[in-house]
Amino acid sequence: MNDFDKAGVLPHAKALHEMGLTILATRGTAEYLNAHGVPTEMVYKVLEGRPNVVDHIKDGRIRIVFNTPLGGESFYDDGAIRKSAVLHNVLVVTTLTATAATVQAIRALRERATDILSLQEIHAGGA
């Protein structure tokens, strides 16, 4: 998360933690979340060392990436993260609005079973 989005992501990180998910974050975000009561494991940025965020994506330890890059400093990591995520079928969420929707969807899926209907069934009144 860029510095401007850390406060905005806090309630969503809390919700994910309350649902039993493990939160991994790079140093600044991990320090922020930990300081605000969300247990968070620190992972390295790509150029900081190993194992880094891309290694964790490749290992299957990361299933969703919440990343709001801002400015030139984040350019290298953002590209490496997105490339690795695409190659390993990991969802990448890049805005706070999409973060809120994703967390809400995860909560909804955990609270109730979903029925899958085709568009034809919905159109025919099967919903």
Give the domain ranges of the chain: 3-123
pLDDT of 73-97, one tens digit each?
666 678 899 999 999 999 999 999 9
Which residue carries 């809400």 as its tokens? 104
Identify the pLDDT of residue 122: 81
Q: What is the 3-state secondary structure (H, E, C) of the chain?
A: CCHHHHHHHHHHHHHHHHCCCCEEEEHHHHHHHHHCCCCEEEEECCCCCCCEHHHHHHCCCCCEEECCCCCHHHHHHHHHHHHHHHHCCCEEECCHHHHHHHHHHHHHHHHCCCCCCCHHHHHCCCC
Q: What is the pTM of this model?
A: 0.82
Domain 3-123 has CATH 3.40.1160.10: no
How much is the pLDDT for 72? Answer: 63
116: confidence class by pLDDT, cuts 50, 70, 90: confident
Please check whether residue 82 is in contact with residue 110, taking contact to mean a CB–CB distance below 8 angstroms: no
User: Is 47:74 a contact under the CB 8 Å cutoff?
Assistant: no
Segment 41-50, tens digit of pLDDT: 999 999 899 9
